[in-house]
A and B are shown apart, each in its own frame.
Chain A
Amino acid sequence: MTNTPKTKVLVSDLAKSFKMHLRDGLEIPVVSGVNFSVSAGECVVLGGPSGSGKSSILKMIYANYRCQKGQILITDGDEIVNVADATPRRIIRLRETTIGYVSQFLRAIPRVPALTLVAEPLMAQGVAEDEAFERAGNLLSRLNVPERLWQLPPATFSGGEQQRVNIARGFIAHYPILLLDEPTASLDAANRAVVVELVEEKKTQGVAMVGILHDHDVRDAIADRIIDVTSFASAA
């Protein structure tokens, strides 16, 4: 691995607002003039109070939200892709190989067991089923999800168990860019420590990370830089 810092994400002049048609076209400004970059092996944390637009920025990088203005450049191997105007097919390919997203909430799929949910991103990257399941099991163990739950669909799990399944699903595969949307909210201290370890491991692998973390201990442990999102507040 090279030591030269390499930009993986470059966000420039990004702006987002919501137009609420059901409320007479009310325009709700979220952020504007968002500028920052993230290098390989670096974890950048977005700071600011609730409602300041942190999640919206993360979702725009993942192309889950659209943006009205600006660009989001992603390094994908030898290519640079602008997420803000990439085709759906290109985004889907990026999400398979390049950008991962760890969210707070698990979208359980009917009948699919926890172990399969966790192994899926690996299999999508071409890892053999046996190996994918083995690695999924190891990660679930590390996150203290009891083995008796692995073959059950997580829809009926407790909130904390679902969240840990989701963290395992988010961390299992290698993505050069990883987005963390409050992965430690409502976890106990032991599991928070595991997440901190996982993030450190990703850093040594050169993964560029952008995160939202309200937990101060975790934030101090993993953040290389904190960006204050309130500086991007739209003039309302």
Chain B
Amino acid sequence: MSLDIQSSEDFPLLQVSNTTKLYGGRIGCKDVSFDLYPGEVLAIVGESGSGKTTLLNCLATRLTPTSGSVNYRNRMGQMRNLYEMSEAERRMLMRTDWGFVHQHPADGLRMTVSAGANVGERLMAVGARHYGNIRDTATDWLGRVEIAEDRIDDDPRAFSGGMRQRLQIARNLVTAPRLVFMDEPTGGLDVSVQARLLDLLRGLVADLGLSVIIVTHDLAVARLLSHRILVMRHGHVIESGLTDQVLDDPQESYTQLLVSSILQP
């Protein structure tokens, strides 16, 4: 093994170049390019229909881009084009190195198995076999996302929306992924529940040194969680940069409109 751990932070984890997705003649996203480094949180913002989720799905191999490339640095330090990998390799990546937090927990959880099994299942997928260890790890993770230990055997149908979302996060993070995709993780939650989730995410991301790409239409969420921001409109990235710089000194007309449209409580 010649992996140089010390300098691994100096190389991008993900390199996106000219990623384009067309739906027939319509643009989903067009010519999007950026690098994501280890430990970086990137927010993709823009209004509904701007192409945020299309882009996210192209990056996470849930959609095949029409053109462009997405390269990912694996644990051996090799850059691999996601769309030149075999389906099996991609699936392995999804199970081990990556997480995907959906807006609707039902899309990311198995609703008919227990909370503990939802978390344990991901562990088994990466080779854990000892029941006691799996259960202990699952209990530990439920604790970290503030789900009481005595709920471990309940299935998520018995959970509130906020609890389900926290469970989905535990299920994603239990295998210590390097890159997590999030699609509006706080969407549809009321504000106090949202605050709890954001605080939790903020802590976990910092503690685990995760790289995250988060899609949100909520600029406050982007400000709280992200280092960098991409502003999308009609499928194009129209402005990007340091999060507080883009939000406090927006240059583009559309970004100025977005920022000035926020209601102050």
Residues of A within 8 A of B (CB): 18-22, 59, 63-66, 88-89, 91-92, 109-112
Contact = CB atoms under 8 A, between A and B. Distances in A.
Interface string B238-264: 000110110011011100110010000
Given A19-B251, A66-B249, A112 B228 contact: no
B242 A91 contact: yes
Contacts of A20: 256
Nearest to A23: B256
B185 to A, nearest CB: 15
B213 to A, nearest CB: 15
Interface of B: 37, 40, 195-196, 198-199, 202, 224, 227-228, 241-242, 244-245, 248-249, 251-253, 256-257, 260
A66 B240 CA distance: 12
Contacts of B245: 63-66, 88
Contacts of A64: 244-245, 248-249
A93 to B, nearest CB: 10
A107 to B, nearest CB: 8
A198 B263 CA distance: 37
A109 B248 contact: no
Contacts of A109: 199, 202, 224
Nearest to B243: A88
B256 A111 contact: no
A21 B256 contact: yes
Nearest to A18: B249
Contacts of A92: 227, 242
A110 B195 contact: yes
A109 B252 CA distance: 28
A20 B259 CA distance: 12
Nearest to B195: A110
Query: Which of A19, A63, A89: most chain B CB closer than 10 A?
Result: A89
Given A20-B256, A92-B242, A110 B198 contact: yes
A130 B62 CA distance: 44
Query: Which of A21, A59, A109, A112: most chain B CB closer than 10 A?
Result: A21
A22 B257 contact: yes
Contacts of A65: 245, 248-249
B153 to A, nearest CB: 28
A91 B195 CA distance: 27
A110 B249 CA distance: 24
Contact of B227 (A22, A88, A111): A88
Please give me the 7 A-B residue pairs with the lowest Cβ-Cβ distance, nearest first. A110-B195, A21-B253, A88-B242, A111-B199, A65-B249, A88-B228, A21-B256
B146 to A, nearest CB: 11
